Amino acid sequence: MFWVKKIYYFIKNNYFGGLKQFNIAKPLLHVLFLLIFGVFAAITGFYAGIFHWDFEKSALFPFNLLILFVFPSFLEESFFRGILIPIETAKKGRSAVIKYTIFSSLAFVLWHPVNAFLLNSGARALFYNPFFLTVVFLLGIFCSLSYIFSRSLWPAVIIHWIVVVAWVGFLGGRNLVLQNISF
């Protein structure tokens, strides 16, 4: 039962510690992460044909914003950053930052094809696409660094949410949660 206590304290101190702090320390750093990611994602996405200009016209788009905040942004960041990366990683030095950033980002990438295989067969073409997975990996890196340097889950959640909203709202993406629901 010792390991149960360890897991409990890790989640309490790490995950909930990251949720309790709404620390947008160094806001320009987070904006810089988002801009660098955006340039790379746009070049990759348009080149590979996974992005195309298509503005969301649904009257439900405001509702979509809330759904996209919860899933994928909040839930995925909760696990891939809040659970997989210790909150004190920055204090452990550069090698720890690199190790946890790569580990979390690779797990984040692997989640997408597993999700498509097990839960969302309609996303297989996209979630198996190496260009899309490259963009996902880079998003994982910037969300990880944002979490590590702020010690707060919220900057990573916000970055993830902005990216997904831009994709669904303007770049031809679709809300994979709502894709099979007809109104």
Helical residues (DSSP H) of the chain, grouped into ranges: 2-10, 16-20, 27-48, 61-68, 75-77, 94-118, 124-127, 130-150, 153-170
Band of residue 60 on the pLDDT scale cut at 50, 70, 90: confident
The domain segmentation of the chain, as residue ranges, is 2-170
State residue 176's pLDDT score.
63
* Burial class of residue 86 (count of CB atoms within 10 Å of its CB; 0-12, 13-18, 19+): middle
CB atoms < 10 A from the CB of 1, how many? Answer: 5
Q: Over the stretch 85-107, which tens digit does the pLDDT of each residue have? A: 999 999 999 999 999 999 999 99
The model's pLDDT over 124-158, given as tens digits with 9 standing for 90+, comes to 999 999 999 999 999 999 999 999 999 999 999 99
pTM of the model: 0.93
C-alpha distances in angstroms, 149 versus 9, 18, 36, 44, 45? 22, 11, 17, 26, 27
